[in-house]
Amino acid sequence: MKNGHVQTIFQTLFRRSPQISYTRERIPTPDGDFLDLDWSARGSRDLIIIFHGLEGSTSATYMQSMVRSGNLSGFDTVACNLRGCSGELNHTVRAYHSGATEDLDTILKHIVSTRLYHHLFLIGFSLGGNLVLKYLGEDRFEHPEIVCGGAAVSVPCDLEGASRRLHHFQNRMYATRFLHRLKQKLIEKSETFPETLDRDRIRNIRTLWEFDDLYTAPVHGFRDAKDYYRQCSANNFLKTIQHPTLIINARNDPLLSSSCYPVEEARENPVLFLETPQSGGHVGFITFREDRRYWYEIRICEFFRSILQEI
């Protein structure tokens, strides 16, 4: 299974989900919206906070598998649904995007104010990985000493490069699937916000770049798609990350451009660790073990355990 597309597709179509029994918590956002958090606790004082990728959710196999792996490694876990991804449309015209770290900040502040954890760790997949890296680089959290480390898997560190890569012919099936789901959700939302969202215009969107140009960028305060990509790419924030952070990007990831492998940034930042396995695809890294854990899940938990030992 060395082919990047096989690695990518296998996780979605053929991997058996562990079917985690979540406890859901809904929290408000400062702008009158909500975020749904799904908890899987085992009584630990160390918590892993996990964020999904584009049009994912906490029910995705890779999310539930990471939750299970974290629990098996002795951590409490909370899987976070980004706005509008928990099965219910969010309340505002805005949604989630690759740079919306204000929602991560809301989640962390809520956790610190309502629960007693000694150490917090962040994990993000794909778009969620870009969010985690950007957030750690911004260092905007009021209690940075509680955040002990992060990990990001299959991260489009350069959003423009990844967007162009996604529109290559060989990636058409991924782009088509993402765009269909995004448009359907936006069409449904247009019933609530007809003055802002033009249903006919949404239906005529043909590419993800156009989707970001017509919706993501203007609704969230960017000039256009290019400006959105430029301001929100994780590459801009890697040099200022101050917590031990692991990036895992496979070299055969079909969705990542060459600019998504921040080799120089990792060399210059002593707490930033970049690992680029030859194979793995996009959130793949298939591993056949009796405990059904994939390589990256074990690697991330080992990384977090090593941080705790240092502490």
Q: What is the dihedral of CA 86, 92, 97, 100, to 10 degrees?
A: -100
Contact 74, 43 (CB under 8 A): no
* Residue 92, CA atoms < 13 Å, CB-side half-sphere: 14
Angstrom distance (rounded) from CA 272 to CA 247: 8
Residue 253 falls in the annotated catalytic set? yes
Q: In terms of C-beta density within 10 A (0-12 exposed, 13-18 middle, 19 or more buried), how is residue 194 classed?
A: exposed
Radius of gyration of the chain (CA): 18
Residue 212 falls in the annotated catalytic set? no
Residue 282 falls in the annotated catalytic set? yes
Q: Which residues contact 88 (CB under 8 A, 6 or more apart)?
A: 36
* Residue 61, CA atoms < 13 Å, CB-side half-sphere: 16
| Active-site choice (126, 154, 190, 233) | 126
| Active-site choice (59, 190, 253, 257) | 253
The amino acid at residue 293 is R
- Residues with a known catalytic role: 126, 253, 282
